[in-house]
A and B are shown apart, each in its own frame.
Chain A
Amino acid sequence: MKAQVKQFLDKPVVKPLIALLLMVIAMTLLSENFATADNLFNVLRQVSVNLCVSVGMTLVILTGGIDLSVGSILALSGAVAAGLTRNGLAFDGANLFLGFTFWGGILAALLVGGFLGAFNGWMVTRFKVPPFVATLGMMTIARGLTMLYTGGFPITGLGASFRFLGTGWLLGIPMPVWVAAVIIVFFAFYMKKTPTGRYIYAIGGNPRASLLSGIRVDRIILWVYTLAGLLSAVAGLLVTARLDSAQPNAGTGYELDAIAAVVIGGTSLSGGKGSVPGTVVGALIIGVLNNGLVLLDVSPFWQQVIKGFVILGAVILDKYATRKQA
C-alpha cells in the first residue's frame, strides 16, 4: 500500500497536480469571486491559447529541442487567416482574384504555420542548426513577415464564424476550450499510444541509440517542429477570432509562457522525460496564478516577479525530488 502511494507520488504529473489543487483551494478561500462558473470559464478560455502552443512545445522539448518561434508563427498565421478571409488574394498581373471562406482562411493559416514549423525542422535536421538558434531566426523572420503582410496595422472585422470560434459557446463550454481540449486529448493519446510518440521520447533520451535502432530520427524531428508550427497556427486562429482582429504584435512572449508551462509540468529540458498532461497542469497553474493575482489586486509588476519565482520553485522542487529517488 505504502509502495503504491509512493509510486503514485513519483508519477511526474502528480506533483504539479497537487500544487494546482492547493492553489485552487487557496484561491477559493482568499477570493469569493474565484470559484464562480464565470471566472473559471474565463480562466480556461485564457489558458486555451497557451495550451495549444504548449502542447507543441512539449513535443519539441521532449526531443531535446526548443521552439522560440511559436509566438511569431501564431501572429503570422492569425494575420494570414484574417487577411485572406477579409481581403482575399489578388494577383494583379494575372487579373486574378481569390476569395476565401472561413474554412479557406483556417486552412491557409494551418498551412502557413505547418510550413514555417517544417522550415524550423529542416534547419535543425538538414543543416544541424541548434534548435535555439534555428527557431530564434524564425522568430524574427515570421514577425517580420507579419509586419510586411499587415503593414503594421491590425486587420479587423472577420465575420460571424470567426467570432463564434473566439467567443461562442457549445454545450455550455466556450469554443476555445473545446479546441484546446480536443488538441490535448489527441496529443496525450498520440504520445502514449503511437509509435511516433514513443520514438519522440526515445530520440530525446538517446538520439544515437534511436538512430541505430532503425528509427528515422531526422524525419521525426522535422515532423515535431511541423506540429509545433501547426499548433501555433491553431492558437493564432483562437487569438484572432477572440479579438475579431489580427494584431501584428500578437503572441509576443508566448514562447516563454509555453516553455514555463512545459517546465512546471515536469518535462525535462534535456529531453526524453515529461508528458502532455503535465504540461496541461503547468499551463493551468500559470492561468490560475495570473487570474488569482488579478483577483487579489496584486500589481501587474509584482505579478511578473511572482510568476518568475513560481517557475524557479517548480524546477527546484522537481530536481530535488528526482535526486532523492536516485
Chain B
Amino acid sequence: MSSDGVLIQATGITKRFPGTVALDGVDFCVRAGRVHSLVGENGAGKSTLMNILSGVYGDYEGKLDIRARGVAMIHQELNLVPEMTVAENIFLGREPRTALGLVDRRRMERNAAALLQQLGAPIRPGQAVRELRVGEQQIVEIAKTLSQEAEVLIMDEPTSSLSERETRTLFDLIRDLKAKGNGIVYITHKMSEVSALSDEVTILRDGRLVKSVPFSQTSIAEIIRGMVGREGKDFFVKNPHGIGDCVLEMEGLCLDDTQRRGRRLLEDISLQVRAGEVLGIYGLMGAGRSELLGSVFGLYPDQVSGKVRIGGTPVRIRSPRDAVRCGMALLPEDRKQDGLVMGMDITRNTTLAALESLCRHGLTDTRAEKARTDEYRSRLGIRSHSNRQTAGELSGGNQQKVVLAKWLLTNPRVLFLDEPTRGIDISAKNEIYKLMDELSASGMALVVVSSELPEIMAVSDRIVTLRDGRIGAEFPRERFTEESILKAALPAT
C-alpha cells in the first residue's frame, strides 16, 4: 500500500458507446480504509465506471492507476449457477485442490461455512442455490466476492433484495473490512445507506462528475440536488381528489400453496378498490403481496378460489388475457423478466398489450403504433434517441415507463403496480408518483405494492397490511403513521 492510501486513481476516464458518451472525463479515487459512495440517477454512468475499474471494459480513454491487490465486484444481477451448491458457487473456478489435483470438497465447504458465518447468514454450504431466496442468493454472491480477498470491493446496490437484518449484518461487515484497510465502493440509490456508510461521496450525472467530496462536508439534500441537477423539487405531494364507486372487489380470495399441500399462501382476502382511489398494500417479504396481485391477474388459475367482481359484475379470470380484457393491468416487480421484451424496440413493447385494438382490418397499423408510442413517450417523458431503440438499451426508469405506457394504452380500469420504483432514480421516481396521481385523478383505480413505507404512505389513499397471507389491518390516509403500519405488518408472535 502506498503512503497516501490510494488504491485506485482514475483520471479523466471517458467511455463511448455507439451513439452516446457514457462517461465524460470522470475522476475517481478509492482509498484504503474508506467507503466511497457512488450515487447518481440510472444512466448516470455508475455501472460503466465500475466496469472499467474492475476490468470488464478494456477500451476507455483516460488514465487508470490501480495499486490495489485485486478489485472484486458484487454485481446487481445475480451470477450464480442455480443447480450448484452454495460452496461450489462461491469457489467456482477457484476450487481448493487436494494433493492429487481433485477438488477438496471438505476444505471448500469449510471455507464457505466460515464466510457465510461472517455474513451472519444461516445458509448451509451444501445447499443448492436454486433453493435459496433471492436475498440469500445475494448473500452467497457477496460471500463469493469476499472469498477473492480483493483489496478493493465494489458493491452495486447490494441491499436491494436483503432484509433489514441482513442489511445490518452487511453494514457491520463493511465496517470490518474498512477497519482492515480495504477500500470499498458502494453504489446505492438509498440515501439512508449513503449517510450510514460513506466517508466520501461521488455524484455522477449524465456521465459527468458533479462532485466528489468527503461526506462530512455535504448533506443528503445537497447530494440529491447534485443528482437531479436542479433545485430539489420537494418530495411528491399528493393532490386530493374525489373517489368514486367500487371498481374491483375481491371476496374470500385464497391461494393454495403448490409446494406444501394443504397450506395457503393467501387466506380469505376481501378487498374493495374504488375509482380514483390508490390502495396501498404493505407487507414484509413473503407476506403474499405479489401473490395477491398475481392471483387476481390470473397467474395461478388452478390454485385460486374466491370471488372477484369488476364494476359489480362477477368475473372469472383464468389467465392474464382474461384480466386484461376485464380492464386490469399489472406493472410487474421484475420488469426485465416479466415486463419487457428486451430485444424489441420501444414501439413494439409499448403496443404489445393493446396491439389488436390498434389494428386495421386485422393488420397492424404502423402509423397508428408510431403515433400512440410518440404520444406516450412525451406524456411519460421516456428518454431515448428514437422509438427504434430496443428496451434493453434503456435505463431502468425509462424501461419502467415503457411498461407503464404499454398498460396505459389498454385503458385499464384497475392498475396494479408491484414495486413501481424499484431500482429507479429519484427524479424518475417522482415522475412515476405524479403519473400515478394523474391516473387516479382521471378515475382509474390503483393498487400499489411497495416495501418502502415512505413511498406507500406518500401515494396511497388507504393502506392495507398483509401478514402471512392474511389481511392485517387497514388504515385510512388520515391515520397513516410509520409505526402503526409497520406494527400491523410484522408477523404476530
Co-complex (A, B):
yes
- With beta carbons under 8 angstroms apart, the residue of A192, A197, A201 that contacts B344 is A201
Q: Find out whether the CB atom of A216 lies under 8 angstroms from the CB atom of B352.
A: no
A193 within 8 A of B: yes
Contacts of A216 in B (CB 8 A): 319, 321
Q: Which residues of A contact B341 (CB under 8 A)?
A: 201-202, 205-206, 209-210, 272
Minimum C-beta distance from A222 to chain B (A): 15
Determine the residue in chain B with the shortest Cβ distance to A206.
Answer: B341
Q: Which residues of A contact B320 (CB under 8 A)?
A: 211-214
The answer to whether A272 and B330 touch (CB under 8 A), given A194-B362, A213-B352, A216-B319, is: no
A273 at the interface (CB under 8 A from B): yes
Q: Is the CB–CB distance between B343 and A209 below 8 Å?
A: no
**Is B443 interfacial (CB 8 A cutoff)?**
no
B139 within 8 A of A: no
Interface of A is mostly: helix
Does A319 touch B at the CB level, under 8 Å?
no
Whether A195 pairs with B18 at a CB distance below 8 angstroms is no
Complex interface: chain A residues within 8 A of B355 (CB)? 195, 198-199
State how many residues of chain B have any CB contact under 8 Å with chain A. Answer: 30
Q: How many residues of A contact B (CB 8 A)?
A: 23
Q: Quick one: which of B344-380 are within 8 Å of A by CB?
A: 344, 348, 352-353, 355-356, 359, 362-364
Contact call A209/B338, Cβ cutoff below 8 A: yes
Asked if A202 contacts B362 (CB within 8 A), the reply is no
When A214-B320, A216-B321 are in contact, do A209 and B337 touch as well, CB less than 8 Å?
yes
A216–B18 Cα gap in the complex (Å)?
37
Say yes or no for A179: interface residue by CB 8 A criterion: no
Point out the residues of chain B lying under 8 angstroms from A213, CB to CB.
320, 324, 352-353, 406
Closest beta carbon of chain B to A34's beta carbon, Å: 38
A183 CB–B CB distance under 8 Å: no
Contact assessment for B353 and A202 in the assembled complex, using a CB-CB cutoff below 8 Å? no
Is A325's beta carbon under 8 Å from chain B? yes
How far, in angstroms, from A199 to B410 measured CA to CA in the complex? 16
Instruction: Decide if B339 is an interface residue (CB 8 Å cutoff).
Output: yes
Residues of B close to A214: CB separation below 8 A: 320-321, 323-325, 353, 410
- Name which residue of chain B comes closest to A325, CB basis: B18
Contact B362 A208 (CB under 8 A): no
A201 and B347 alpha carbons, distance in the complex (Å)? 14
Cβ–Cβ contact B339 & A212, under 8 A:
yes
Chain B contacts for A210, CB-based, 8 A: 341, 352
Mark contacts of B299-316 with chain A using CB atoms, 8 A cut-off: 1 yes-contact digit, 0 otherwise.
100000000000000000
Known: A272-B341, A325-B18. A198 touches B364 (CB 8 A): yes
**Chain A residues with CB under 8 A of B363:** 193-194
A86 CA to B346 CA in the complex, in Å? Answer: 55
Instruction: For chain A, residues 164 to 210, give those with C-beta under 8 angstroms from any C-beta of chain B.
Output: 192-195, 197-199, 201-202, 205-206, 208-210
Is B340 in contact with chain A by the CB < 8 A criterion?
A: yes
C-alpha spacing A192/B365, complex, angstroms: 10
- Is A215 engaged at the interface, CB distance under 8 Å to the other chain? yes
Contact A208 B18 (CB under 8 A): no
How far apart sit A202 and B349, CA to CA, in the bound complex (Å)? 9
Q: Shortest CB–CB separation between residue B437 and chain A, in angstroms?
A: 25
User: A193 near B352 (CB under 8 angstroms)?
Assistant: no
Q: Which residues of B sit under 8 angstroms from A193, Cβ to Cβ?
A: 363-364
Residues A205 and B344 in contact, CB atoms below 8 Å apart: yes
B324 touches A194 (CB 8 A): no
The answer, yes or no, to whether B473 is at the interface (CB within 8 Å) is no
Closest CB in chain B relative to A209 CB, distance in Å: 6
Would you list which residues of chain A between 299 and 326 have a CB under 8 Å from chain B?
Answer: 325
Q: How far apart sit A208 and B337, CA to CA, in the bound complex (Å)?
A: 7
Could you tell me if B343 and A272 are in contact, using CB atoms closer than 8 angstroms? yes
B364 near A202 (CB under 8 angstroms)?
no
A274 to chain B minimum Cβ distance, whole angstroms, is 11
Instruction: Contacts A194-B364, A195-B355, A195-B364 given; indicate if A212 touches B344 (C-beta within 8 A).
Output: no
9 new A-B pairs (CB below 8 Å) besides A201-B348, A272-B344? Answer: A193-B363, A199-B355, A202-B352, A205-B344, A206-B341, A209-B340, A212-B339, A215-B352, A273-B343
Q: Can you name 14 A-B pairs with beta carbons within 8 Å?
A: A194-B363, A194-B364, A195-B356, A198-B364, A202-B341, A205-B341, A208-B338, A211-B319, A212-B339, A213-B352, A214-B321, A214-B323, A215-B321, A216-B319
